A and B are shown apart, each in its own frame.
Chain A
Amino acid sequence: EVQLVQSGAAVKKPGESLKISCKGSGYSFTTFYIGWVRQMPGKGLEWMGVIYPGGSDIRYSPSFQGQVTISAVKSISTAYLQWSSLRASDTAMYYCARLPGRDGRVLWADFWGQGTLVTVSS
């Protein structure tokens, strides 16, 4: 059974750093992309970026380039999303998702993690 299990909720102060995780199981971690999606309170879904753990492909949405870092450790089948300096506007639910890839194209998100709620408040 394919599963993506995310780290627990985090409460942080502005300016603090944070790294959240997404552990994949039940499939070959290195043959699918992992993507990160932001959902601000009461709002829609936004792609932040994707990573291919089996290679060097990392893509960021222009809105998030330079604001976050996406990484992965394939030996433990885990992807990460990190911030070096959080803002109140980073308060949101963050989902990871698995995406097949084909011929350089990242396809649909077929499995999702349960979400990690990040709250940034002074």
Chain B
Amino acid sequence: DIQMTQSPSTLSASVGDRVTITCRASQGISNYLAWYQQKPGKAPRLLIYATSTLQSGVPSRFRGGGSGTDFTLTISSLQPEDVATYYCQEYNSALGTFGPGTTVDIK
């Protein structure tokens, strides 16, 4: 089974800061990685798929990168509406695995 880890588990930053979340897979997953945003009390929302492709309607301040086992989600300028938990998910295996999540809030 593929295990996914994320760091940090929580992150506090100021509005306008550049924020980076790291996701690591226990084995190589090529570029089969997606990122989701979940705001409190809401369903998750797809942000990025295929490591770096922005889903339609997602602001361009979100950027995904990486390959193999190490991936990143970067928010170039943190906004108040970005307060949420962010999950990575691999879909290299038969039924993909989510990372444990990173909670982002405003300092």
What is the interface of chain A, defined by CB distance below 8 A to chain B?
37, 44-47, 49-50, 59-62, 95, 97, 105-115
Q: 22 A-B residue contacts at CB 8 Å?
A: A37-B44, A44-B99, A44-B101, A45-B36, A45-B44, A45-B89, A45-B98, A47-B95, A50-B95, A59-B94, A62-B1, A105-B91, A106-B94, A106-B96, A107-B49, A108-B34, A108-B50, A108-B89, A108-B91, A109-B46, A109-B89, A115-B43
| CA–CA, A46 and B43, complex, Å | 13
Closest A-chain residue to B49, C-beta based? A108
Rounded to whole Å, the gap between the CB of B102 and the closest CB of chain A is 10
Q: How large is the interface on B (under 10, 10 to 19, 20 to 34, 35 or more residues)?
A: 20 to 34
Closest A-chain residue to B6, C-beta based? A44
The answer to whether A114 touches B49, judged by C-beta atoms less than 8 angstroms apart, is: no
The answer to whether B97 touches A47, judged by C-beta atoms less than 8 angstroms apart, is: yes
With A37-B44, A105-B32, A106-B91 already in contact, 16 other A-B pairs whose C-beta atoms are closer than 8 Å: A45-B89, A47-B95, A47-B96, A49-B95, A59-B94, A95-B43, A106-B96, A108-B34, A108-B46, A109-B44, A109-B89, A110-B46, A110-B49, A111-B46, A112-B44, A113-B43
| CA–CA, A95 and B43, complex, Å | 7
